[in-house]
Amino acid sequence: MDKPNPRHHVTRIRWVAAVSAVAGAVLSLAAIGFDWSGFWGGFALGAGIAAIVLAAYLWGLVTGMSRAGHTPTWLPARTNGSV
């Protein structure tokens, strides 16, 4: 069985973030547009906002993960007698 590469995880998290953002936006707009009131209206609006916040967090996490893979690292000199 093939081992998934790290880019596969980044792509998967990016898709989860995008789906969460779309679902949160739809839920929030539905709660506002249909003027849902009471407990379930507040629950739907809160869940929509929470999904959008989760998507923003995951998108930032993916950005940091993808940037960390491309940063150059410093290596000391490997010749004898160098400092």
Per-residue pLDDT of the chain (83 residues; tens, 9 = 90+): 566 666 777 888 899 999 999 999 999 999 999 888 899 999 999 999 999 999 999 999 988 887 766 666 777 776 765 55
Give the Å distances, CA to CA, from 14 to 5, 64, 71: 15, 12, 20
What's this model's pTM, rounded to 2 decimal places? Answer: 0.72
> Residue 10 in contact with residue 65, Cβ under 8 Å?
yes
Give the Å distances, CA to CA, from 54 to 20, 26, 35, 48: 7, 15, 24, 10
